[in-house]
Amino acid sequence: MTEPSAKNLPRRMVGSGCPALCDRRRALVADDEPAIGHIVADWIGRAVPDAQVDYVANGRAALEAFRQGHHGLVILDLAMPIMDGRQTVEAIFHICEEWDWEKPFVMFVTGFAPPDFRDQFLAQHPECTLFLKPVFHLDLIRTVRDHLVLRPT
């Protein structure tokens, strides 16, 4: 695994022993259904105009985007090609541990979540939450606003 570039690490004070903080102005949306991914990204952009929202179509692309942006919020579909949402978040959390980065808040937005995922995985990961499709956009936006930093108006 390659090391993060220096430009990705300014949020940590050198020698502080504290993890590098996520960029809470950035959200990453990964969904293999482009229409859904773009709708979610659009909702976020309208609700949080200062946010930078990146969209990708699969888990591997999400992992690469996260390595570059250390997003404060990651929104994943559970069922995606190449890497599913669960594999993606496990890889993201591994990167965070390896590079001493703060973990992002993760929202799974999916049409189906197996009982073991709901009962075990989510119980073990308080930094993750689940929304079942179709999702009510105001619930999603409320959670997004709770986890992104907004510029005071």
Task: Go through the domains of the chain in sequence order and give each one's CATH number.
Answer: 31-109+123-147 (3.40.50.2300)
More confident residue, 7 or 17: 17
User: Using CA atoms in the order 111, 116, 121, 124, what is the torsion angle rounded to 10 degrees?
Assistant: 140
Q: Which two tokens stand for residue 92?
A: 């993201």
With a cut of 50, say whether residue 7 has pLDDT above it: no
- Look over the chain and give the mean of its residue pLDDT values, rounded to a whole number: 87
pLDDT digits (tens, 9 = 90+) for 95-106: 999 999 999 999
Model confidence band, residue 6 (pLDDT cutoffs 50, 70, 90):
very low
31-52 pLDDT per residue, tens: 999 999 999 999 999 999 999 9
* Global confidence as pTM: 0.86
Q: Which residues of 137-151 are buried (b: 16+ CB within 10 A; e: fewer)?
A: beebbebbeebbeee
